[in-house]
Structure formats: C-alpha cells, structure tokens
Structure 1
C-alpha cells in the first residue's frame, strides 16, 4: 500500500506542520549572528593544530573570493545558524553542503553517481542548516560569476523548490525504497533542459570515467629505477621524511618513511574497520610509498596522507588517510557519539550517500589523531563553476538540492515530517532565498574583515600558487577534482 494512502503518512505530515508553531517557515529567513562574533579570531582558532607551514596556503585559497572564504570556513555559519530559529527536525547532516561538495563518483558496481562527496563536518543537526549552506553558496557563486542578485534569488528558489518537491516524493516512498534510491549520471542527463548543460554533464562524466588509479599513476609518481615513488610537488604533495617536508620537527611522525613503526598499527587498525572481504583485498596490495597531500580549502593544513600500493601485477591502488577533527556542528548540537572522529565521518558518509567507497574506514595515528581512509580517486569529478552561465548554475543547484533531499530522507528517516513542515506553497523557498541573500551579504562583510587582516599582516598568506575565484589552484577543474580526493 502506498504510504500516502496510509494513516501514518498523514500523522507524519501533520507532525511536520505542527513544527511551524515552534518555528514558522518565515522565521527561516532570519539572518541572526552569533554573539561575540570575530571572523579573524574564528579563522585563527580554526587554524590551531594544523601544520603551521601550510596555514598561509589555506589563507591564500580563502582569499580568492567571498565564495572561497565561505567554502573554507564552515565554522562561522555553523555558529550563526545555531543562534537562529530552526525546525527542530534532526537528520544526519552533511555540515558543509556548499555546491562544491557535490560531484560524480563510481559506485561499487562501477556505475556513475551524483552525490555529496565531502563529510568532514557530518553530524546530527536540523536538516535546514544544510539547505541554508547550499542556498548561500549558490548566491555567492552567482555573484562570483557576475550575475545579478535577482538571478541569484531565482537560482536559490529553483534549488529549494526542487528540494521540497523531491522530499515530497521521498515522503511517499517506503524506507527500503528511499534507502536504495540514487541520483545517477543517466538520470541527470535525462533531466537536463538545454544543450549547454548536457554538454557540461557529458564532459564531467567522461572526465570522471577517465579518473582512475591507472591514469593517476603516471601523473603523481616517478620511476626511481628501484621502485615507483610519489613525486614531490611542494607545498601540495611532499614526502614526510625528505628535506621537502613542511612538517615541523616535533611532528615528524613518519620521519623514517615506510620503516616507521607508526604506520603498520595505523593500517592494522584501519583494516579492522573494513568488512572482511575488503580487508582481504587490501592485504593483496603491497605498500610502495607514502606522502603528505594538501586537499581542498577548509582542509588545508590538516594532516592528509596518500599511500601508493601495488598488487603483484604492479597495478596501483591509492588510499588517502585524512585527519578527522571534531565537526563544526558538534559544539552547537550534541557531543560526538561515535568515540572516534574518523568513525563519525565514515558513519555519516555511509548513512547519507547512495553508495560509498568500498575502502572507506577509519584509524588512529600518533598523538591520538583520528583519521578516515578512502580511495584517493575513483571516477571522481566535480563541477567547473567558472565555465557556468546562469542557466547551468540554476540546473546544477537543482541537482545538488535533489541529492541533498535524498540524503536527508535516507539519513533521518523523516521525509514525511520534513515535507509536512515545508508544505506545498512557495513559502519555504521565499524564506530561504531571502536568508541566502542576507547571509551572502554577511559573508562578503566577513571577507572584507578577513582581507584587511591579511593586508595588515595579521594573517600570513602564501601567494605562490595561482588561485581561481572559487578557491582552487588553477586550472580550476583539475584542482577541484584532484583536491577533492
């Protein structure tokens, strides 16, 4: 029996409508700010514990534009969202759902899917916090592309309207159907409304299919004669035990390279978090080399390693060990219940994504640092926003909203409650578009404060790398894909 014919369905819808008494939909337009709010102090606080030599690179990437600043500092919006009214309907949230954190990747069956691809900040939180971060990123992206605020508002209304409609669809599906739902490459292409968008999707799809371990091998490795070795390209890729290392002397925890006893316990710990068949598969590979790899914008300076492994036929497997710090949402919601930040990331990713990396696991490193592990690259590609026009950005925003609705429906199990809260009118979209424009103004104001701190020498910047307006090393599409891991 379809759920919309079931009395429980109406009860859940009504429960969502009842939440409007606690937080009217119009209240979602409120752009409140956290008390004692100092963007520069928050930036400096967020840099604590990072590799000191890489902090100037992080600031350089954030200084590219207000969009890049927004992308690199989820902590500010998290604090502001916590000071605003919210629905009280909780899901496993992404925590950093801006539009650069979506893209294509391969399912375990080698099918190309479109989904959220970054879960460093995942945590339980009100569902609309993710939607607000996506909406704000759309306005900032539109402004970065030189589009008017009227166009930006229309783009947000289209995205939030898609989120509402898709959530209504998921609300009428069984839990099993929601669990197995996905947004595939073919589905996106079928829903494309114009030739330009279809061309963009075709290019992204082809690029994703070409981004395999075999194709990555000659790009980031060199043959030394004795064995393959990851190629040093500081500051973005360097060995920890060579003169090119940017780690401070008191942080050389792999100073002896692969012989260091610190690595094997990490790998053993990681393998214990995998299913037995997948752990057995990893054990069929031999470790060849390990290096430090800088990724993204907000993650720059956190400890991120890439391990090159090869099987008996010299075929490669690249694993990425990425430091997992507490979610920016944790201090405003509830403590992490997983006992390990890497496990938190893995749990959130498995719960929200339609399909997850077969090698996804977690481990603990020296000094008690938490890491999660995934493949460095497996048919992964994200959008080249610099080549977007208004119509393409609008369609891409709708694709992101679609997959965000699917992720929330799966992770929270409350699609009908959320659908009931949003209703069938345009009130939700109107409130979110007004919020996104107001908060984009606030981001630009914060960016000016951040830029003055750089100009005054308060925040050091490494200007040696050419940074595009969206915070990625040029050429933008290569940086966005490779940095995403």
Structure 2
C-alpha cells in the first residue's frame, strides 16, 4: 500500500480497523482441520528418506513442532479476520528465524534470516507468528504465564512504537535503517545483557568461510573434499547417501553434472561485478545438507569453492517450494509477480532484509 502523506496512511489504517477491529484478532479461526493432513501435504515432494527425520526433529519439543508447522498456522490465520493491509511478509517470523550476520561491508547486524515462506499477505500474520513463538518457547522453558505475557507485550509494544517512529522517517532514512550489534549493546538495560550480546557478536564474527573449511573439509590432492556427517551432511552419490537409486539426482552419477546447470543459471542472475568475482573461484565439492526443522527433506546443497590461493567460499543452494502463505492467502496478481519460486524468495529477501548477501541470486 502506498500513500503520499502520513494523514492518508492514517486514514487507511482507520479504515482497515473497521474491516478487522482490534478485538477481532483474538479469534483463533476455523479449527476443524487435521494438522497431520496439513503436515503430510507439506512433506510432499521432499526426499522420502528424510521425511521421518523431519517429524523426529519436530517431536523434540512443542517449540520444535511449532517451527516445523508453519503450514498449520497459515491455515488457521487464513480463517481469521485481517486488516487487508497486504505486503510482502516473511511468513515464518518466529523468534529463531532472527539472528546475527555480517553485511557486505562486514558490519554485524541482527535481522531476519529465513525467507522460504515469504509471500504477500496481511502484515499482522508475521507479528502473530512471532508473538506465538514467544509463548510456546516460554512454556517449553517452564517460564511462568506472567513471564510469557511480559515477553509478548514487550515484543508487540516495541513493534508498535517502532512502526510509529518509522512512519515519520524519510524514505532513504528508513531504507538504510538496520539493527547493529553495537546499537544493541548501547541499548542493553544491564551489564549481563551487554555480556550476552558481546558473546553473540564473537560467535557471529567467528563464523567465517575459513573456520567452516577447518571443521567441514580436508585436502585431497589438488582439491578440498567435504567430510560426510550423515544424516545431516552427505554426498549425493557417496556411500552415505540417503537418496533412492531411482532419484533423478542420484541417477546423474556425478555431482558436477548435478550442479552445472543450476550454477550457470544462477550466475546469470548476478550483477556483472559479482559474476566477475565468482569467476575467481573453482568448484571443489558438493554435498547435501539437512537444514533446520521445517525444511528437512527439501533439497539443499552446500557447494565448496576456492580461489587460486586456496581461500574458500561456501555457497548454499536451496530448493524453493511454494510458500505455505501463498497456499492459504490469495493476494492477487501483480505486474512484478515472480516468474518462479526462487525469484519469489530472492525478491522477498532483498525487500525485507536490511542487508542481503552479495551472492544472493
């Protein structure tokens, strides 16, 4: 939604409130659904031998189940009143899908870091999933009901206050707004919080390609080879593979055949300077990686490359499936509608993330 003045935006907000009053957001929606059926639906097309691992990870705790069942909440939210204020949302904005990482300028920031479910939908769906994640996590950690309530109220009140602040910001000022770790340290309310934030800074700054190489790979002649660590990490065509012999990836027989077409297509989506930069890196190895909870069973690869000095660069290649948000909310067509699911995720990440990886494509 675009409006030329703050007054017009406020008027649009008041009109949206008439469509969905604040009290209506207490509704839990149409609950006559079988969550198992929805989970089976979301498992279709995944690597078959990994689907039980997905369910196993989800049974570890109520919060793990919540992480892996975005389709259930998308279904339930689609049955509730909404504001009609539709824009690109993360679609899976639970508290563990935020984290620290370095910008292209090597500045440590805190932001969303998962966009598999990004889609156009009512803005409050993200806020509701975030609030629900605090409640589920608090219960799992045996916090009191009062503590859970305080966590949710702090989150939503901060959201409200920041949106009010951003409504007064200029377009460029808002575009360059980001949450840095240094800013978080300055805003910390006590010494213990500052210590925890600095510890997170150390962990984030220590996650480099070189440190990953030491942990994951070894030299074999003139190239690096990633070590298998099944079921989380394995070569598609190796002895530890979890692919069936009839799978189209497995029947290719060689990882270079598997990645060649993908990689060439990917390079075409990058700007000239970044394509030139990647041209300095040779392909060394490729493994399948089992990621997260909700994504287990989807096709995800880690590609290890290195420059002429042996300095590594890891690239992640992820399957882009249809968003669970799009399955349960019809936003209508748009002139810039993505041509495929991969483009949807990249467009959404670039729109929502303060600073995206320079190799995102």
Give the TM-score range, shorter chain: over 0.9
Aligned counterparts of 2:112 and 2:351: Cα–Cα separation in 1: 11
Is 1:233 the equivalent of 2:225? no
1:402-413 alignment, distance < 5 Å = none
Residue of structure 2 equivalent to 1:302: 298
Q: Which 4+ residue blocks in structure 1 deviate beyond 4 angstroms?
A: none
Residue of structure 2 equivalent to 1:99: 95
Aligned counterparts of 2:39 and 2:322: Cα–Cα separation in 1: 16
**Displacement of 1:263:** 2.2
**Displacement of 1:258:** 3.7
Aligned counterparts of 1:21 and 1:296: Cα–Cα separation in 2: 39
Q: Which runs of 5+ in 1 are unaligned?
A: 1-5, 362-485
**Displacement of 1:198:** 1.4
Aligned 8 A contact 1:241 1:252 in 2: no
Residue of structure 1 equivalent to 2:128: 132
Residue of structure 2 equivalent to 1:12: 9
SS of residue paired to 1:215: helix
Is 1:360 the equivalent of 2:360? yes
Q: Which of 106, 110, 133 matches 1:110?
A: 106
SS of residue paired to 1:250: coil
Is 1:87 the equivalent of 2:83? yes
Aligned 8 A contact 2:302 2:317 in 1: yes
Is 1:154 the equivalent of 2:150? yes
Q: Which of 130, 138, 143 matches 2:139?
A: 143
Deviations 1:208-267 (A, max 9, x none): 00100001001011223453201001100000111211011222425433442x422211
Q: Which runs of 5+ in 2 are unaligned?
A: none
Query: Higher RCO, 1 or 2 (CA under 8 Å, sep at least 6)?
Result: 1
Aligned 8 A contact 1:240 1:252 in 2: no
**Displacement of 1:175:** 1.6
Residue of structure 2 equivalent to 1:277: 273
Q: Which of 253, 256, 260 matches 2:253?
A: 256
Is 1:23 the equivalent of 2:5? no
Is 1:33 the equivalent of 2:16? no
Comparing 148-157 and 299-308, the one that deviates more: 148-157
| Higher relative helix content | 1
Aligned counterparts of 2:75 and 2:92: Cα–Cα separation in 1: 13
Deviations 1:71-120 (A, max 9, x none): 00100000100000111101210000000000011111000011000000
Is 1:222 the equivalent of 2:218? yes
Aligned 8 A contact 1:257 1:290 in 2: no
Aligned counterparts of 1:10 and 1:45: Cα–Cα separation in 2: 44
Give the TM-score taking structure 1 as reference length: 0.71
SS of residue paired to 1:114: strand
Give the TM-score taking structure 2 as reference length: 0.95
Comparing 178-187 and 165-174, the one that deviates more: 178-187
**Displacement of 1:125:** 0.6
Aligned 8 A contact 2:103 2:355 in 1: yes
**Displacement of 1:21:** 1.1
Q: How many residues align?
A: 354
Q: 1:259 to 1:328 in 2, by over 3 A?
A: closer
Comparing 93-102 and 172-181, the one that deviates more: 172-181
**Displacement of 1:143:** 0.6
Aligned 8 A contact 2:49 2:242 in 1: yes
Q: 1:7 to 1:269 in 2, by over 3 A?
A: closer
Is 1:165 the equivalent of 2:161? yes
SS of residue paired to 2:65: helix
Q: 1:340 to 1:310 in 2, by over 3 A?
A: same
CA RMSD, 1 decimal:
1.5
Aligned counterparts of 2:4 and 2:295: Cα–Cα separation in 1: 46
**Displacement of 1:332:** 2.2
